[in-house]
Amino acid sequence: MRKSLTFFFSGVVLAVAASTAVAGERVLEFKLVTKPLDLKVIEAANVEGQTVVSGKFFGVAVFSDGRIGVKEFVNASDLLKGSGPFFGYSTYTFEEGSITARYTGSAKDGKSTGEYTILSGTGAYANATGTGTIESAPNPFKGVNLLNIKLVVKTSGS
C-alpha cells in the first residue's frame, strides 16, 4: 500500500510540474507589414478632412531570427486630416499557436501608437492573456504599413 501511495504522489507531483512548466510569460517582438484587403472610407458631410475608415487587413510578422507569422484583422478609425483614434481585433497565427487580441491607438502626423489586450490563444498560447504595444516604423513602401509590435503573452498552462 505504501508503495502504491508513493507512486500515486510521484505521479501527482509530475503532473503539477508538467503543467507549471508550460505556464509563464513570453515576450514576442517583431516587425509587422500590413495591407488592406477590403477598405471602406466614408467622408463626413460638412467636416473637411473628416473620415471614418473600416476594413479587413492582412499582415506578415517577421522576427529578427527569421521566424514568421501572419495576422488577419479588422480595423476602424475616425480620422480628421489623417489623425485620430483607431481600434480593432486581430488574430496572429504562428507555428506554435495563435493569439487573438483587441487593440486601440491613435494616429498623428503619419505615426501610429497603440496598445493590445490579449483575449485568447491556441496551441502554445492556449488561455493566453496579456498586453502589448504598437508603434509605427519608418516605412519606405507605399500601400502598406510597417509597425513594431511587442506582445507580452501570459499563459496559465491549464
**Is 46's pLDDT higher than 60?**
yes
- Asked if 99 contacts 91 with a C-beta cutoff of 8 angstroms, the reply is yes
Q: What's the CATH number where 31 sits?
A: 2.40.350.10
Residue pointed to by grid coordinates 519606405: 140
Residue 16 counted as domain residue? no
Secondary structure E strands in the chain = 24-43, 50-62, 68-80, 84-94, 97-108, 111-121, 129-136, 145-155
**Is 34's pLDDT higher than 60?**
yes
pLDDT digits 0-9 by tens, 67-106: 999 999 999 999 999 999 999 999 999 999 999 999 999 9
> Looking at the whole model, is its pTM more than 0.95?
no
Q: Which residue has the higher pLDDT, 1 or 94?
A: 94
Q: What is the tally of structural domains in the chain?
A: 1
Full domain range(s) for residue 142: 24-155
Residue 62 counted as domain residue? yes
Give the pLDDT confidence score for residue 22 in this predicted structure: 53
- Which amino acid, residue 22? V
pLDDT band at 156; cut points 50, 70, 90: confident
Residue 14 counted as domain residue? no
In degrees and rounded to multiples of 5, residue 10 shows phi and psi of -60, -40
* Rounded-to-integer distance, Cα 100 and Cα 93, Å: 9
Q: Of the candidates 111, 97, 83, which has an alpha carbon nearest to the alpha carbon of residue 151?
A: 97
What does each C-alpha distance from 156 to 5, 25, 53, 96, 133 come to in angstroms?
Answer: 28, 9, 37, 16, 21
Q: Of the candidates 149, 111, 142, 143, which has an alpha carbon nearest to the alpha carbon of residue 35?
A: 143
pLDDT digits 0-9 by tens, 4-21: 434 433 444 333 333 334
Give the pLDDT confidence score for residue 157 in this predicted structure: 64
